[in-house]
Chains A and B, each alone.
Chain A
Amino acid sequence: MTRPDQSGSSTVWSLTSFATLALFGATLYAIFVVAPVEQQMGIVQKIFYFHVPSAYAMYIGFGVSAIGSAVYLLKRDPKWDALGVAGAEVGSLFCLIVLLTGPLWARKAWGVWWTWDPRLTTTLLAGMIFAAYLSLRSMGNAGEVEKRFAAGLALFGVIDLPLIHYSVQRWRGVHPTVITGKGGGLESEMYWALGLSFIAFTGLAVLLIWARASAERQREQTAKLRFELMHR
């Protein structure tokens, strides 16, 4: 992945990249060396340290997509549309990670790969809404109508995020509640590992959204140039 642009922001980009890389190293050390193995589930519980921050990064991606889409609908500025696309794509990537790593943990903890628990179902729903967004945007060069429709879809999809978050508290389900205040919590070393992982995944999500939005803006400018050249 190349830097988003060659301006002064490349220094910030480089620093964020190195910091994120270092944080991932520290996170892996904390997960596999510092944090103890969970008493009942055993080593499979360590999936939790990447699974939960991935869900958080998914919130960041989809949230950014909704913000970009809302501002685009108000201002019609392509840079906000690019942010909407970038957020939806990165959010979908982390949503896929959540939906694939969760069942691997569930197989050991619950004895099944999947169950229609409220949190699992609402997460799948969010993934499907933003998959529809990306499908709409991938149909060639999206015109103004497609962009506005996709922006509306992103705003619709973001309504699902509070449902995912509060589903474990409001509805009966089997999903763990260790960090939502209802469970027994975590041991201090586990908190350290999870905290570091949260910061690392935040950095990664920011970098990916940044790079993808920059690439989308460049792609849009190239398409505009091509159009002008054809109609000379």
Chain B
Amino acid sequence: MLIPPPAHAQEQPAAPKEGAVAETKEDAAEERAAQFVGVRGPEAESVPGGALMLGAYAIVWALLFLYLMRMRGLQRNTAEELERLSAEIRASGGS
């Protein structure tokens, strides 16, 4: 049976040798992460898969809808322009 190595996280930090300078360094070090804790259980990371999937399908339908609306607008503008030009031609006596 293998003997597990001692955990480094449990080791005590070395005592500061110099007064004021060492104290400043210790304050800065306290702001950073001092330990890593492993997850105990099935959930290592929780990313909402259902929400991501719904978002993806919503994007597909929304983009298709917007594109259809854009194409409808384009067709309507062309039809209106054509109608206006036809009226101008009739007014100017053309065939």
Contact = CB atoms under 8 A, between A and B. Distances in A.
Contacts of B53: 43-44, 46-47, 104
A173 to B, nearest CB: 21
A196 to B, nearest CB: 15
Given A111-B45, A211-B71, A225-B85, A219 B78 contact: yes
B82 A100 contact: no
Contacts, number: 79
Q: Nearest 7 CB-CB pairs, A to B?
A: A44-B49, A101-B56, A47-B56, A104-B52, A104-B56, A42-B49, A108-B47
Interface of B: 45, 47, 49-50, 52-53, 55-57, 59-60, 63-64, 67-68, 71-72, 74-75, 78, 81-82, 85, 88-89, 92
Contacts of B64: 93, 204
A182 interface: no
Interface residues of A, number: 33
Interface string A192-223: 00000000000010001001100100110010
Mostly, the B contact residues are helix
Contacts of A54: 60
